[in-house]
Structure 1
Amino acid sequence: MAGLMKGALKSKERRLLVIGWMEHVSLPALGLENVKAKIDTGARTSALHAVGIETFFRGDTEWVKFQVPMEGISPPLCVEAPVHDRRLIKNTSGVPEERIIIRTQLKLMDQSWPISVSLADRNNMRFPMIVGRTALKKRNIAVHTRRANLTTEIGQQRP
């Protein structure tokens, strides 16, 4: 009985957050606010539109610098971050390509948590960012497949 009560209390503490298939998110550590993102549970890894990707070293640590073109902002934002990993990730055509992975904070409403993001030229894509299922894992989030911008449309939905 005590175990049942403990589980019930835990579920009350972390209510289910329902988000839309498209949301506006922020990556504050990169200086990116209000980024239009597709919530893509079919994708494992999140991806961010980046161009001019170049790696360099600071001491013994590999870093990457890149530009993030944002609608309505000129010139593109210049960003630098430590390289977390390199992975083969399937592009939209299903062809694996090596991508640089960085770690950063994802902010959605009043919640923020660390995620891995691959850097890719998404120039021909409708969304400058996709948020993959790994970024949502263990966050008690459900995606409404027929609604968009639930966190901004509803306004103050709280987890």
Structure 2
Amino acid sequence: MKQLTTIGWREWASLPEWGVEVRAKADTGARSSAIDCSKIEELPGNRVRFTIRLSRKTNRDLTLEAPIAMRKHVRSSTGHGHDRLFVETILRIGGREKSILVSLTCRQRMIHRMLLGREALSGDFLVDSGVDHWATPRKKKRQ
């Protein structure tokens, strides 16, 4: 049986292929994962261009392009359905890496910029709802 990595309900998540580190909420009530994006634009060749805000306190953004992995109708927490584009990337938490699908959506009004749903967590992570790793400041990398 595979050993599960225990994570908190809020975690620092790394998306190394994109060079992004973001605070994420583990949400076992959500089926799929989502990341806060703007300027989502479909491109020829089944690709998408999107912009991730690196910090809400600054105007630093990162624009990326990726193949569209899936299109799916998703119901939000408010009960409204939306068609979303999903891309595939690597998620790194607690020393474990996993390829996940993540939907691109505007989460500007949400507290958590990234949501980790059951599909991303299943089989690899165990969520301890009593642990909150946002309270643990990240050490800045020396350059």
> Percent identity between the aligned chains?
34
| CA shift digits 1:102-154 (9 cap, x unpaired) | 01110113211100000010000001100001101111x2111122119x68x
What's 1:130 paired with?
115
Question: Distance in 1 between the 2:6 and 2:95 partners?
Answer: 14
- TM alignment of 1:5-154, pairs within 5 A: 11=1, 14-33=2-21, 35-57=22-44, 61-71=45-55, 72-139=57-124, 141-149=125-133
Question: Distance in 2 between the 1:24 and 1:123 partners?
Answer: 18
* Alpha-carbon distance, 1:28 to partner: 1.1
Structure 2 unaligned spans of 5+:
138-143
**Partner letter of residue 132 of structure 2?**
A
Structure 1 unaligned spans of 5+:
1-10, 154-159
What's 2:141 paired with?
none
TM superposition score normalised by structure 1: 0.79
* Alpha-carbon distance, 1:29 to partner: 1.1
* Alpha-carbon distance, 1:31 to partner: 2.0
| CA shift digits 1:62-111 (9 cap, x unpaired) | 11111111225533111111101110001121111000010111011321
Size of the aligned set, in residue pairs, is: 135
TM superposition score normalised by structure 2: 0.87
Which structure has more helix as a fraction of its residues?
1
Q: Which moved more, 1:92-101 or 1:14-23?
A: 14-23
- Over alpha carbons, which structure has the higher Rg? 1
Over 4 Å off, 4+ runs: none
Question: Distance in 1 between the 2:58 and 2:65 partners?
Answer: 18
Question: Distance in 2 between the 1:85 and 1:37 partners?
Answer: 22
| CA shift digits 1:1-39 (9 cap, x unpaired) | xxxxxxxxxx4xx43322110000111112212x10000
Question: Distance in 2 between the 1:101 and 1:66 partners?
Answer: 11
Question: Distance in 1 between the 2:97 and 2:4 partners?
Answer: 16
